[in-house]
């Protein structure tokens, strides 16, 4: 695990660090929650986007953030503080984490501890209510399973904390254990995806 902490997420340096490599947040473009590979246009679009980034050196995705996404990003520091107070643990912010020196893929956790990471979900009121009423479905409602599994793969940790935070309500904090079987399938998909990505990149450079 190689964490980089000298820049802030969403700053220009952060985008540069992610340029052209698969990261944890779009892991659902490669694998389903049941461990099956995705197919079709979504996977292809992701591959093509990363290939263009590798050739041009510039971010090629959409930077659009809905109001709900912007509000959720603003609430993350409050959510981290609430987690620290409830759990009595110090959480470090980090820009990006690579698995190793090859930097083939990475994750950008909402927080890191000595033995675990933290993923924060700051939803709108309807989805917050769904999570609090059905805590067993919270991870599914958030759509964070593949992202957390890839983060566990990159960091090597055995578990990850998942927090649902909404101002005025008690945070929902869950522990997500490492699923070795799923991570093995994810790694296979990443290897296959990266081979395709390298081929497409080569084609673009030769055009």
Tell me, what's the pLDDT at 172?
98
Q: Which of 3, 1, 16 is nearest to 93 (CA)?
A: 3
Tell me, what's the pLDDT at 187?
98
Name the residue range of residue 90's domain: 2-206
Average predicted confidence (pLDDT) for the chain:
93
Neighbours of 131 (CB within 10 A): 25
∠ CA 50-54-57, rounded to 5°? 115
Report pLDDT digits (tens) over 137-163: 999 999 999 999 999 999 999 999 999
What is the domain count for the chain? 1
Residue segments in the chain with a per-residue pLDDT below the cut of 50: none
What are the structure tokens assigned to 157, written together? 């940790």
170 secondary structure, DSSP code: P
What is the C-alpha to C-alpha distance for residues 163 and 146, in angstroms, rounded to an integer? Answer: 16
| Residues in the chain, overall count | 207
Tell me, what's the pLDDT at 101?
93
SS3 130: helix
Tell me, what's the pLDDT at 73?
77
Report pLDDT digits (tens) over 17-51: 999 999 999 999 999 999 999 988 999 999 999 99
For residue 170, the domain's CATH number is: 3.90.320.10
Tell me, what's the pLDDT at 65?
58
């Amino acid at each position: 695990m190689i964490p980089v902490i000298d820049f802030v997420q969403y700053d220009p340096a952060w985008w540069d660090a992610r340029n052209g490599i698969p990261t944890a947040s779009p892991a659902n473009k490669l694998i389903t929650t049941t461990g099956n590979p995705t197919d079709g246009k979504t996977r292809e679009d992701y591959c093509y986007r990363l290939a263009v980034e590798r050739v041009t050196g510039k971010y090629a995705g959409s930077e659009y953030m809905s109001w709900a996404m912007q509000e959720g990003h603003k609430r993350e520091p409050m959510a981290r503080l609430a987690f620290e107070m409830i759990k009595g643990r110090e959480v470090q912010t980090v820009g990006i984490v690579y698995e190793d020196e090859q930097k083939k893929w990475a994750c950008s956790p909402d927080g890191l501890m000595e033995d675990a990471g933290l993923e924060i979900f700051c939803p709108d009121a309807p989805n917050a209510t769904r999570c609090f009423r059905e805590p067993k479905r919270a991870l599914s409602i958030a759509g964070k399973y593949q992202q957390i599994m890839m983060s566990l793969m990159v960091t090597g940790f055995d578990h990850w904390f998942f927090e649902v935070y909404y101002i005025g309500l008690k945070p929902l904090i869950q522990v997500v254990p490492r699923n070795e079987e799923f991570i093995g399938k994810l790694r296979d998909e990443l290897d296959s995806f990266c081979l395709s990505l390298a081929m497409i990149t080569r084609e673009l450079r030769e055009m």
